[in-house]
Amino acid sequence: MQVNCLFTPSPRPSPPDQLYFAVLKQKIKSTGERHCFCVDEELAYENFYADFGPLNLAMFYRFCCKLTKKLKSIMLSRKKIIFYTCGDQKKQANAAYLIGSYAVMHLNMMPEEAHSLLVSRNSTYIPFRDASFGTCMYNLNILDCLRGVHKALQYGWLDFSNFDVEEYEHYERAENGDLNWIIPGKFLAFSGPHPKSKIENGYPLHAPEAYIPYFRNHNITTVIRLNKKMYDARRFTESGFEHHDLFFVDGSTPTDAIVRKFLNICENAEGAIAVHCKAGLGRTGTLIGCYMMKHYCLSAAEAIAWIRICRPGSIIGPQQNFVEDKQNSLWAEGDVFREKTLNERENGKVAVTRILSGVDDITINGSNKNRYNDDDERNGLTQGDKLRALKSKRQARSSSGSLSTLICLFVYSLVVPDLNTLHIDCALVNRAAEGCPSVRPRSANRPPPMYPCGFGFCCPMSGRW
């Protein structure tokens, strides 16, 4: 079914107190004064192990379409619209991420502004975690996700005016290639090809030839393999693609030499780059995250958040801490790179040279080299194999079974479903949103901050609380 979502200015102004977010203990019904909706069951995260979010890009898109349609509805124009969650703590975290990201994308809020509403009156949400089975080694909180969404808007990676949700959901499925764009037109993450197409451990494997038509149609010129050689690279190179091998052990972190080589390849690629390891999650996300930190100045948490929104399950275990440890050095390298590039352009020289052009591939096991024998990744069942099998099984189960308005975003907790008899613990923001999803510069004439007024908050723009 085609989903249409038009982000165009609303032909009518909406009431300044129309939109609410609530955390409830049970479901509530709509009335003549309020319209209530919940997506706890409709938008459900498909976990690998103990991971539970954030919800992927397609789910965020569908949420935005649903909420925007309600806000533009003439039938609902005089009703309060209450987006609520009554699920467990995991559902609450995902609901807060959705409404917070909506505020960043469509209400022109900064991430910190939206987050301050979500945590008003000491509301708390559990942090997201990685797709590993063991103890959580790194917490990703809602503010990290909001900042990741904000950076994606700034750099044009997130633009729902040309986002094809059906294409996203088609190609993310294992049987259709298991691929996702992390940076549109620059980085594609995908599951590692196999010598021949078949089903293995419940997961559909695809030969290199299965990807070639898609790669050509999307200007992908370079393929980078991070796992053991499961297929002959000539099957890509003879079709006109550059192919590079930068092996490091499944579940481990790359050496500095591998990071440097990866960055150099990507900085010199003529077109987009397709990166894969076994499952296209851990090693793949780690190195793409390094590039994002160097060239877009994302923090480690912002990079991890955005990559997981695009491709859930990415960057696992110690790889999270590795990305965080590399953050400052990659920021510094990025500053040097940009200064050097600017100077070379001004002097009429080639901007970038192939520092490691004489190295065709790098195979370094690093400190984890004794964890496996050389052939273990080819013949044994590694973390990547398990993740691929889990993804295929969960997808099989799931198969069978610009807004222009003055709006208020309330965040509060309710202990009973009768809104008419409740004291509302809230924080209030009144914001005019204009045009399609984009990030606009903050105006010097923006409304003054809110001031406490009794038990609510007074907004000078509307004079209402």
Catalytic residue numbers read 277
What does the block give as tokens for 9? 């200015």
212 residue type, one letter: I
Q: How far, in Å, are 24, 26, 115, 121, 398 from residue 88 at the CA level? A: 10, 11, 20, 19, 21
Query: Which among 35, 33, 39 is positioned nearest to 71, based on CA atoms?
Result: 35
At 430, give phi and psi (nearest 5°): -115, 120
Q: Among all chains, which residue has been given the structure tokens 């790098």? A: 362
Q: Give strand ranges (E) for 322-465.
A: 361-363, 406-413, 430-432, 451-453, 456-458
Whether the bond into 15 is cis, omega within 30 of 0: no
Query: Which among 380, 378, 394 is positioned nearest to 174, based on CA atoms?
Result: 394
d(CA 422, CA 414): 8
H/E segment holding residue 53: none
- Sign of dihedral through CA atoms 371, 375, 381, 383? positive
d(CA 120, CA 425): 8
Q: Are 350 and 166 in contact (CB under 8 A)?
A: no
Considering just the CA atoms, what is the radius of gyration of the chain in Å?
Answer: 24
d(CA 342, CA 186): 21
Query: Which among 380, 437, 329 is positioned nearest to 67, based on CA atoms?
Result: 437
Q: Residue 2, Cα to own-chain centre: how many angstroms?
A: 23
